[in-house]
Structure 1
Amino acid sequence: MKKILGITVLAAFIGGAAAIGGYKLFERNQTGSTISEKQNLYFANNPLKVTSAGAADFTQAAAAVAPGVVHIKTTYSTSDKSQGSSSPFDMMEDFFGGGGRQMQRQPRAASGSGVIISQDGYIVTNNHVVENAEKVEVVLTDRRKVEAKVIGRDPNTDLALIKVNATGLPVVKMGNSDNVQVGEWVLAVGFPLDLQTTVTAGIVSAKNRSIGIIGREQQGNEITEEEYREYQRTGKRPERPANTSIESFIQTDAAINPGNSGGALVNANGELVGINSAIASQSGYNQGYGFAIPVNLARKIVDDFMKYGSVKRGYIGVNFVPLSGDEKPEGIKTSEVSGLYVNDVVAKGAAEAAGLKSGDVIKKVDGIVINDSPDLQERVGRLNPGDKVKLTVLRDGALKDYTVTLKGEASINPNANTAATKSVEVSKLGATFVPATLAQKSKLGINSGVVVTSVTTGKAFDNIGVEKGLIITKVNGQPVNSVTDVQKALPQTRNGMVYMSGVTGQGTFNFSFPAQ
């Protein structure tokens, strides 16, 4: 009897130790380093009880997702009012074009949506929802209001990651956007037009759709009179920053309106497949053309923000033109009507190292047939420098595979990771500058900038209170990445005034002063 009792006590002890050890392991894993680990852990203990047999009944999916979609309210300083780029309406308004009604730009308060992706408060939304915001407030579905911190913004994909100081939050399960099919039922969940949680249904209308909106937001479209005269005189096109935007939207006819930005696009199983981002409309409201960022791309951006604080993006190092049956641009020598025609290979870039040449036609990426820019951009956009990608290339009538090891931004912009070692003075401003580094730009979510390294007492910058450390992103509406850019943009005044935009870790600033 004593022997049996001893065995029982020993077994109980071992079982208790295993339980405690298991709990400690679970506790440690609660702080998973990637969003995928956090999601796997959460849904291992909280299975998503949703099934779909193809019937158009979305009650389970809506009930599972709605608690994890939040209302985001942003406020802006008065000085930001002239900037006109932070409202969730702005990105859509630019796509509406001149045919639609004019919306008020840069309101003092605006709103959008966000998706909770971890119990400990990480929320994914659009960059344009939180860009330039002085304060970001999240209204949870239980009506609690909590202030959020912006962890990272990526203008290249229009994604942002924010975090609230809360635990035990409902989580929306990330699905696989590669599995999304045209014609599949989807739900859009968000807070349109300042309404409470709203669920709409539709189908996937198209995939890998590019509408050019992020590239326009990133680079700007205006050409100054001076640039145009120079173009007429020399035939040289005005220089613009490299377009590194990634657009490969899921298009849907589920009703999406202003305020849905940053909300969830989910499948009938209640899985997140996209982050709603923009609409195409002449009225400013839903006309059946909504666009969402694929969740597989969003997952990479979020993980980078959590690991590094910025996005680590890999580049192939080619310039290409999508082929079609239309008349081909001058200089393209191929009879092919599909694929991406390589018209330039970046010197010392990843593609050149792998053996690609100008005139090649890229037909596949990792075995997947590609026909347009988004097919390539979105797949490569999920990868990091050092990752390998297999390109199937048509050359001289034969297909050949090349393994390309992606390189960082320095491979396409040699000055991307370093600033000039010596500050350069702009006497008219009474200040010295160096180019902002890639790390600074990525951390602040900007695509251009020069850093103020010193200010001379009694000169223009000192008189208006500009301090050392401010990053100037635009001068007279022109993006600036060097002192030369600043000097070229300064004469482009309006009504005798110089207009500048700047950013620090505390927010965005817009200011103006009389031209000298």
Structure 2
Amino acid sequence: MSKRQFILGMLVSSVLGGLIVLLGIGFLGSDSGINGSFSLNRSNSVATSFGTISEEPHDYSVPDGVNFINASRKIVPAVVHITNREEIKGTSSRLRRMLRSGLKFRESTGSGVLISEDGYITTNYHVVEGADELEVRLDDNRRLKAEVIGMDPDTDLALIKIKARDLPYIDFGNSDQIEVGEWVLAVGNPFDLNNTVTAGIVSAKARNINLITGAENRYGIESFLQTDAVVNRGNSGGALVNLEGELIGINTAIATNTGIFSGYSFAVPSILVKKVMDDLLEFGEVRRGLLGVTIRDADGVGTVEFSGVRIMEISPGGAADEAGLKAEDVITGVDGKLVKTTSQLQELIARKRPGDAVSISFKRKGDVKNTMLKLQNKESLAVVELPEPELIFEEDGSFDETTLTYEIGGAEFKGLTNDLKRKLNIESGVQLSKLGEGSWKASGVKEDFIVTKVGDDDIKSLEQFQKIIDTKTKDFYIMGKYPNGEKEYYRITW
């Protein structure tokens, strides 16, 4: 067959097909009233029904890995709404007005997760802190009083209980097995919108955002799971689950400048949550084992290592000291698990109790070594009494940070002027204004040095600096720069 004959055959077939279709439409139109055009005669039609809703199940399936339905069904009944009522106390004019209006309590709300059929609930410490009354509303709208079993500010976790039986609850999952990029669901009560489910992925693990740690809580543990699942006020204490519906974290915080969700949320990982809940149930408090070290990330500053946890100081008689660890060693593993950051190390040790044996891998001058140690409690660490700090004010009595002075250990510190902040391109810090005999001078630091960090803590104000220094019971490091821009760090030996 020639090419011309082939093309001609195709045209003839197309024409015949079109004729058959037209004949079919004409036949159907003569029988059913369909004439090729569609119209609605609004003046003569009366609607008696808008059709029927199918009772048949969906005939499509969502691929495994992106199906949130089963996980939502499992977790929603186990998430509760918590109301914290705190009795109004005080003498301010605002509080007196509230009392005159008949208000006896101020309320705040949050979320919690049922972890047993007999009413034990895990939530955040900050959700139940200061409560005179706690009320729990279940998924079936029952409202029950709750009692606090125990609280742990170091992890921002708490265990409470209601009197009920045969309750839906959620199983703990293994947060160690969660991968960055894995789908997760956040369930809670944002803005009092009960049983709200949002989805996202795990954005990072072992994240430290300086929420819990700091001057007022030197034993705070931060090793959050970071996600982009939407979390807002009221979600605190709620569940972060995997697609199996297993609890892999307790939602605790958001990164925000506005007070509402701005892209990232943070959850305490489930393995740490379970350890804290077990301790609170058994002892009423958390029993945490300690290494007895001051640490920071090994980032190549002052050490050849760029990964791991650098030991800055060893507490005499502590677990690390007795195991032969030394300052400048870099911890790289705990019980066979790789350690890259301080937050990872803190979480792994926080899962243990005093007396637990732990295998530590570390590097000393490039050589890889291993040792075993037994963790101690904080009461075992040596305590050094510090002199009472003296606050010195200028003659005009001003409390401006540039005139307020903090004196300790033979040195005086003052706040920074705005000009100095702009010159050095820093947001905050304190300046060593006068140096006498004592620990500070012995470190080699000179007058006018601007302290921007103490250990791992960024210095925000003179008051905060004072609180941090007041907590120091052993040697520590300060970091910062001189007015000429030269960066330095010093070890302060008490």
Match of residue 205 from structure 2: 207
> What's the % identity of the aligned pairs?
47
Distance 2:233 2:340 in 1: 32
1:199-278 pair list within 5 angstroms: 199-216=197-214, 219-220=215-216, 243-278=218-253
Residue 196 (str. 1) matches residue 198 (str. 2): no
Instruction: Tell me which of 331, 346, 349 is aligned to 1:380.
Output: 349
| 1:336-386 Cα distance to aligned partner (Å, 9 max, x none) | 111111111100000011111112111111122211111100011010001
Counterpart in 2 of 1:443? Answer: none
- 1:210/1:374 contact within 8 Å kept: yes
1:270-291 residue CA offsets vs partner (Å, 9 max, x unmatched) = 0000000000111211111100
In structure 2, relative to structure 1, the CA distance for the partners of 1:61 and 1:358 (3 Å cut) is: same
Judged with a 3 Å threshold, the aligned counterparts in structure 2 of structure 1 residues 135 and 80 are, in CA distance, closer, same or farther, namely farther
Q: Which residue identity lines up with residue 203 of structure 1 in the other structure? A: I
* 2:72 aligned with 1:62: yes
Q: Note closer, same or farther for the CA distance 1:53–1:367 as it changes in structure 2 (3 Å cut).
A: farther
What aligned pairs does 1:88-487 form with structure 2 within 5 A after superposition? 108-216=106-214, 219-220=215-216, 243-325=218-300, 328=301, 332=302, 334-412=303-381, 414=383
How far is the alpha carbon of 1:397 from its aligned partner? 2.4
- State the one-letter code of the partner of 1:280: A
Amino acid at match of 1:384: R
Detail structure 1 runs of 4+ shifted over 4 Å in the superposition: 413-416, 476-480
Q: TM-score, normalised by structure 2?
A: 0.62
CA distance in 2, matches of 1:53, 1:164: 38
SS in 1 for 2:89: helix
Mapped to 1, the partners of 2:155 and 2:67 lie a distance apart of: 32
Q: What is the CA–CA distance in structure 2 between the aligned matches of 1:318 and 1:297, rounded to whole Å?
A: 21
Q: Does the 8 Å CA contact 1:139/1:145 hold for their aligned counterparts?
A: yes
**Offset at residue 388 of structure 1 (A):** 1.1
Q: CA deviation at 1:80?
A: 7.0
- CA offsets, 1:252-273, max 9 Å, x none? 0000000000000000010000
SS for the counterpart of 1:305 is helix
- Check conservation: 2:80, 2:136, Cα contact below 8 A: yes
- Secondary structure of the 2:66 match is coil
Alpha-carbon distance, 1:124 to partner: 0.1
Indicate how the Cα distance of structure 1 residues 52 and 130 shifts in structure 2: closer, same or farther if over 3 A, else same: farther
Cα deviation for residue 53 of structure 1 reads 6.0
* Counterpart in the other structure of 2:85: 75
Alpha-carbon distance between aligned partners in 2 of 1:374 and 1:316, rounded to the nearest angstrom = 14
Q: 1:252 to 1:361 in 2, by over 3 A?
A: same
Q: Is the 8 A contact 2:186 2:239 kept in 1?
A: yes
Matched residue SS, 2:361:
strand
Counterpart residue type for residue 59 of structure 1: I
Shift of 1:56: 1.4
Q: Could you give the per-residue CA deviations for residues 363-415 of structure 1, whole angstroms, max 9, x where no partner exists?
A: 11112221111110001101000101111111132111011110111123559
Counterpart in the other structure of 2:400: none
Distance 1:243 1:362 in 2: 20
Q: After superposition, what is the alpha-carbon deviation per residue over 1:8-62, rounded to whole angstroms, capped at 9, x for unaligned?
A: xxxxxxxxxxxxxxxxxxxxxxxxxxxxxxxxxxxxxxxxxxx996431211110
Tell me if structure 1 keeps the 8 A contact 2:183–2:243: yes
Question: Does the 8 A contact of 2:148 with 2:159 survive in 1?
Answer: yes
- 1:434 is matched with which residue? none
1-side partners of 2:345 and 2:116: how far apart?
Answer: 29
Verify the 8 A CA contact 2:332 2:339 in the aligned structure 1: yes
Q: Structure 2 counterpart of 1:61, which letter?
A: A
Structure 2 vs 1, CA of residues 54 and 81 (structure 1 numbering), >3 Å: closer, same or farther? farther
2: CA distance, partners of 1:167 / 1:181: 35
- Distance in 2 separating the partners of 1:53 and 1:335: 47
What one-letter code is carried by the residue in structure 2 that aligns with 1:345? I
**Quick one: which amino acid aligns to residue 62 of structure 1?**
S
TM-score using structure 1 length = 0.59
Looking at structure 1, the residues matched to 173 and 340 of structure 2 have their Cα atoms a distance apart, in angstroms, of 25
- More moved, 252-261 vs 351-360: 351-360
Equivalent pairs, count: 319
Distance in 1 (CA, whole Å) between partners of 2:114 and 2:210 is: 28
Name stretches of at least 5 consecutive residues in structure 1 with no aligned partner: 1-50, 83-106, 221-241, 417-475, 483-516
Q: What is the CA distance between 1:173 and its match in structure 2? A: 1.2
Asked which structure has the greater CA Rg, the reply is 2
Residues 413 and 306 of structure 1, relative CA distance in 2, 3 Å threshold = farther
Counterpart of 2:477 in structure 1 is: none
More helix by share: 1
Contact 1:250–1:291 (8 Å) recurs in 2: yes
Q: Residue 76 of structure 1: SS of its match in structure 2?
A: strand
